[in-house]
A and B are shown apart, each in its own frame.
Chain A
Amino acid sequence: MVKAYGRGLWQGLRVTWRNLTRRSVTAHYPDVEPDLPPRSRGVIALQEENCTSCMLCARECPSWCITIDSHKEVIPAATDGGRDRSQNVLDRFDIDYSICMYCSICIEVCPFDALHWSPEFAYAEGDLKDLTHDMNRLRTWMDTVPPPQALDPGAEQGKELDAYERTRATEEGL
């Protein structure tokens, strides 16, 4: 193949000209809020009612940034002669965002969907200590969690939904 002299020079001009004549891709962040997709790793929100204090998240966390305290409460038996049930109640659920590395392991590992990603990212603080979000603050992040992404067209729906529909079908069949 013949080596074309000046081809690189021409390409440099062409690429830059093309960029010049097209709209730039810059996000104008402080003026325009970014449009982040669901499950963006901004901040972790806690759905307190779902939490059973099973400690899986705290134990799996690679940077040990989750602190959980809980106590047991007894729920009296609903029927006569029945057995009392016990339930774990959270006293404390802290996430220290000064050491969190946003790996998402706690959220993957939670068996009861108590933890969720929220795309909110603007929670810088003047003091390092204020980066520890307590239970109440984590609960408020729940309001910012967007609904999950829609399924791709033709994709299988979740196994949970399959199971739910199967049970309903059998119950209605009876």
Chain B
Amino acid sequence: MSEALDVLLRCLVVLGAFLTMPLLVGQMEHKAMAHMQARVGPMAAGGFHGWAQLVADGVKFAQKESITPAAADRRVFELAPAVALVPYLVAMVAIPLGPFFGQGVLIGQDLDLGLFFVLAAMSVGVLGTLMGGLGSGNKYSYLGGMRVAAQLMSYELPMVLAAASAAMLAGTLSLVGIADAFEPWWLVVQLPGLVVFFVAGLAELQRPPFDAPLADAELVMGPLTEYGGMRFAMFLLAEYAGIVVLAALTTVLFLGGWAGPWAEQLGWAWTLLKIVGVSFLVIWARVAYPRLREDQVNVLAWKVLVPLALAQVTLTTVVVVW
């Protein structure tokens, strides 16, 4: 009985994190991006510096009609937002937040193959966008879908290689194990891996500067063109949930997770802090850099990131064996 209660509680906490953290990142994006562009961003909703802007957005999305185009592949089209969103919820289950006031590690479920599981779930998330692109019955969406496919193919490899390097160094695929095994000098040895993982993760999420599949100026949001109302909101939520998952994975794999002073008590806070920091970097990259052209996207993956990741794996092998 108490075990069932424990599972229920963990699920609720994960669900709560899943529903709030993307919104926090979204609000951070609103405000940080605005100030980076010398604006102030939302100021009216909620009274104090527009803190309720995303609530207002959510209400607006809920009021709108969800239209399915006549030419669309109905079931694929309607299923796509769920396929985009749910995997990130699933991924969050396996991501550890760290020791919680001496009560053990705060995590949905500690899996022996945690890293493998999370990476697999993240790849499924991208399939949602692909389905949206191919199922919309719209040429722009189709082009966007093809770009999503190309991007997925290109960036999965360096991402997995970089993650593998972290797993090799720790000697385990369990995310808790990897974060526990962290030592500060890893930051130096794993730096290329960190960069590759972060950049490849950005590309996987189709975040600017890797938003060639969405490209609002040329493909009118690509796979998302035909979506409206709650379905579109789910895609948006998936984007921000993806940022959270990517930031959390980067934190756990490369930044030591809960490593920091008083980790036994405040480990979870350290992890959250690092997640917020990495999310800020994701937002910063969006504001600072223009979109990569489609060929540049692939050149960066195959000519820069893949060799870099391979070099990182080689380096890690040498370090581990030595």
Q: Tell me whether A19 and B40 are in contact in the complex, defined as CB-CB below 8 angstroms, given that A9-B289, A13-B284, A13-B288 are known contacts.
A: no
Structural contact, A19 and B284, CB atoms closer than 8 A = no
Structural contact, B34 and A12, CB atoms closer than 8 A = no
Q: Tell me whether A25 and B38 are in contact in the complex, defined as CB-CB below 8 angstroms, given that A13-B284, A16-B284, A20-B32 are known contacts.
A: yes
Q: Is B120 an interface residue (CB 8 A)?
A: no
* Beta-carbon contacts under 8 Å, A65-105 to B: none
Q: How many residues in B have their beta carbons less than 8 Å from beta carbons of A?
A: 13
Structural contact, A19 and B36, CB atoms closer than 8 A = yes
Structural contact, B39 and A24, CB atoms closer than 8 A = yes
A-B contact count (CB 8 A): 33
Q: How far is the CA of A134 from the CA of B228 in the complex (A)?
A: 48
Q: How far is the CA of A12 from the CA of B37 in the complex (A)?
A: 11
Query: Shortest CB–CB separation between residue A32 and chain B, in angstroms?
Result: 12
Q: How many residues in A have their beta carbons less than 8 Å from beta carbons of B?
A: 13
Q: Is B7 an interface residue (CB 8 A)?
A: no
Q: Is A15 an interface residue (CB 8 A)?
A: yes
Q: Is B287 an interface residue (CB 8 A)?
A: yes
Q: How far is the CA of A12 from the CA of B288 in the complex (A)?
A: 5
Q: How far is the CA of A15 from the CA of B287 in the complex (A)?
A: 10
Structural contact, A19 and B35, CB atoms closer than 8 A = yes
Which residue of chain A has its CB nearest to the CB of B287? A16
Of A13, A24, A28, which one neighbours B38 at CB under 8 angstroms?
A24
Q: In the complex, which residues of chain B have a beta carbon less than 8 angstroms from the beta carbon of A24?
A: 34-35, 38-40
Residues of A within 8 A of B (CB): 9, 12-13, 15-17, 19-20, 22, 24-26, 28
Known: A9-B288, A19-B35, A24-B40. 18 other contacts (CB 8 A): A9-B289, A12-B288, A13-B284, A15-B288, A16-B36, A16-B284, A16-B287, A17-B36, A17-B284, A19-B36, A19-B38, A20-B32, A20-B36, A24-B38, A24-B39, A25-B38, A26-B39, A26-B40
Q: Can you show 20 pairs from A to B with CB atoms below 8 A apart?
A: A9-B288, A9-B289, A12-B288, A13-B284, A13-B288, A15-B288, A16-B284, A16-B287, A16-B288, A17-B36, A19-B36, A19-B37, A20-B35, A20-B36, A22-B38, A24-B38, A24-B40, A26-B38, A26-B39, A28-B40
